[in-house]
Amino acid sequence: MSLDTAVCLTGGQVLQPDGSLETADVPIAGDRIVEAPAAGSQRIDCRGYTVLPGIVDVHGDAFELDLHPRPGVAMPFAIAMGSVDRQVLASGITTAFHGLTVSWEPGARSLAAGRRFMDGLRALRPRLTADHRVQLRWETFAHDALDDLAGWLAEHPTPALAFNDHTTSTLEKVNAGSHRKLDQWAQRAGLTREQYVAEAQTVGRRAPNVPTKIETVAGLARRHGAVMLSHDDRTCDERAGFRSLGASVCEFPLAPEVASDATARGEPVVMGGPNVLRGGSHTGALSAEDAIRDGLCTVLASDYYYPSLLHAAEHLVARGVLSLGGAWALVSQTPAAAMGLQDRGTITAGQRADLVVIDASGPWRLVHTVVGGTVMRFGR
């Protein structure tokens, strides 16, 4: 249900900025939370429900499956992203940063695919309900993409930029004779394994030029005020190098000492919601729940599964890892701050009216999602 008039969410348990819950009303006028309801506001009864800030997803790439449901199969962009819009809203996500991999690979993660995505989203964004943004996950060996990155970083809203090096690990798998992942990646690229390996080895010869290209791209990002993230850091030295270039966020660190070093410096550390739900990483990396217990993870992202954020918070509360306020901060307040979005993440007057209403009396159930004052109902 969409309501275009001023509204007031009444009688719910409202999450306060300090993490406590308080029975209160949340008045909305236009796209903002306000101090008092306007005359004639549409009242929405939230008694028995919990009212929370909308989820801010700093990195989600589940959209790839909608665009390419099978290898070599592409769906029309508007249809696919319309479906993604509905999925994120039904998962309580009000701000979605789509993790767009810009790689040297052919196929779904190619530069050409990145161009189609950016062009398509630019045209479609006014018709979507959630706030759809982009995290450019640039493969640091994809040197043909620099002109495109320069153009994309100049757009509004400014994309975030993540530095990603999967080429080195790909070549390590080639050298070790590990084929399981190579077969999967080759299929995604529309190549045989032999063709994919040959392409990776050719691109790998760019390694001496990678540091210079990273510095160039970081300079572009700084010029446009883009939030920068380092992705899959393996060592503290790797993280330190990206930190020196202005990458303020540590995303999916692969070693506990990297996460520890980042959090000790007050830097946001991002891990995956699916990792929490599954009880560990599907790649054998750090356990997100353990990292949260140890204070080494401050932001959760949907990664490859949109519903994971809502239910990761539920999981952490049910297991006594965090209070509801502490768990919800991982998917709203701290990700908003990490991405430089000062107008969302808490329920206070003047903030964007991005909210979720859940029934937490049993297994958590989404009742309403509110984006910029537009209310959608998903349950009773």
Q: In this predicted structure, what is the pLDDT of residue 36?
A: 95
Question: Tens of pLDDT along 166-181?
Answer: 999 899 988 887 777 8
What global pTM score does this model have?
0.96
Q: How far apart are CA 223 and CA 154, in angstroms?
A: 9
The number of CA neighbours under 13 Å toward the Cβ of 114 is 27
- pLDDT of 15 strictly over 70: yes
Query: Which residue segments constitute the domains of the chain, with CATH numbers given?
Result: 1-54+345-380 (2.30.40.10), 55-344 (3.20.20.140)
Summarize pLDDT for 285-298 with one digit per residue, the tens. 789 999 999 999 99
Token pair 């990603």: residue: 164
Provide DSSP, 238-302.
HHHHHHHTT--EEES-SSHHHHHHHHHTT--EEEEHHHHHHTS-TTS---HHHHHHTT---EEE-
Nearest to 314 by CA among 327, 326, 295: 327
For the chain, give the mean pLDDT: 95
Residue 114 scores a pLDDT above 50? yes
Predicted confidence at residue 343, as pLDDT, reads 98
pLDDT of amino acid 4: 53
CB of 104 closer than 8 Å to CB of 167: yes
Question: Average pLDDT for residues 51-69, to the nearest whole number?
Answer: 97
State yes or no: pLDDT of 2 exceeds 60: no
Residue % of the chain over a pLDDT of 70: 98
How much is the average pLDDT of 304-318?
98
Q: What is the model's pLDDT at position 120?
A: 98
What pLDDT shows up at residue 237? 98
In this structure, of 3-12, 128-137, 240-249, 301-310, the range with the lowest mean pLDDT score is 3-12
pLDDT in tens, 143-174: 999 999 999 999 999 999 999 999 998 999 88
